[in-house]
Amino acid sequence: MSELAASTSALVRRALLRMDPAKSLAALDALDLRAQSRVSAVVGVPLRQLRQKRDVTAFAISAPHAAVTALLELLAQPTLDAVVEELGDHADHPSYDQLVAAIDTLSVAGTSDEDLVALLCLAVGESFPAAAHCRRLLAERSAFWLPDLPAAPAPSSRVTPKVVAPEIREQRRARREEERRKKKQPAPRPTRRPKVSAPPPRTDAAPAVTLAPEPERRAVLLTPLERELFDATHALAGSVVLVEVPFDARDPSVPEMTSKERPALVVAGSSTQLLVRPLYSQPSPTRDLFSPWRRLGLDHLSYVDHQRVPVTLDVSRVRALGRLTDQEWNALG
């Protein structure tokens, strides 16, 4: 591991140590870590062990970097969303002054220093475009201090000598004597065997070897009504697109807002509508972890909802972010 990679890993681990352990465990408990949640083993196994042992300090020190980063990302996601909203059009490549202004605004609004530290260290650990600005902020502000990373306990080099019972030692000695006695005995002379003619060559062809077929893309199951309205072989089926998804209920504070643009997985479609499963940034019992989120260019951990929602197909506004591979599609619940 290079010196830069090592320092980045240490920064992420120290940020997790700065967080309140109760808050970290509460966020972890809300995460779906079942085997079918499609969290990779290098992340899922350490997180499940942490859920059982409840020792955040030991986890931060010794868990794989990917697992520590995943937990820190889960904790920093609300602050990251708030910073992105505050930066607006400058969110992709903010200047140092723009980032400082956004951080100060969140701080005045009540965001804690530890939440801001989690965000800044995550940006450095994940090599965000503003990673250099985040390093500078961490170095310049005393409020953004980081605890020292304790040394991992070294494995003990002391070996306790194995005690062998006298009767076992005697059995081993007798066995060695028997083996030496057998080696001293002359080997029996080989006897001449009668010649045996070779079997006639087989004329039947060897059976053909049938290779298992490659897994095909699993067909989507539609309800009778959905089959009448939508086509599962639509050109956008299996793609993630940006569309206007209607709200389940109207917010009394903003009654004029009835929908929001968000990424969604297309299940089927028609000439006028798409049947989609919306993607969200927050987990819930009706949502599964959407593992291809980073590959498709989404800027935060995402969850795909079980519910299928019809949305209007506006070819001029729908923007495709990418298509799921057969393996990713078949892994979906």
Q: What is the pLDDT of residue 304?
A: 92
Other C-beta atoms closer than 10 Å to the C-beta of 45 total 15
Q: Which pLDDT does position 2 carry in this prediction? A: 46
Largest CA distance in the chain: 102
Residue ranges per domain, the chain? 3-144, 224-331
Residue 150's pLDDT is what? 84
Residue 15: its pLDDT value, please?
Answer: 92
Distance CA 102, CA 96 (A): 10
Beta-carbon contacts of 238 under 8 Å, excluding residues fewer than 6 positions away, are: 217, 265, 266, 323, 324, 329
pLDDT of residue 127: 86
pTM for the full model? 0.49
Q: Which fold has domain 224-331?
A: SH3 type barrels. (2.30.30)
- What one-letter code names the amino acid at 5? A
Q: In angstroms, rounded to a whole number, what is the distance separating the alpha carbons of residues 147 and 15?
A: 8
Q: How far apart are CA 294 and CA 136, in angstroms?
A: 26
CA-to-CA distance for 84 and 39, rounded, in angstroms?
Answer: 26
pLDDT of residue 1: 42
Q: In this structure, are residues 226 and 268 in contact, taking their beta carbons and an 8 Å threshold? A: yes
Q: Extract the tokens encoding 231.
A: 């086509």
333 residues of the chain, pLDDT tens digit each = 445 555 888 999 999 999 999 999 999 888 887 754 567 778 888 898 999 999 999 999 999 988 899 999 999 999 999 999 999 998 889 999 999 999 999 999 999 999 999 999 999 988 888 899 999 999 999 999 999 988 765 444 454 556 667 778 888 888 888 888 887 777 666 666 656 566 666 655 555 555 555 567 888 888 889 999 999 999 999 999 998 888 877 766 767 777 888 999 999 999 999 999 999 989 988 888 998 999 998 988 999 999 999 998 887 778 889 999 988 888 886
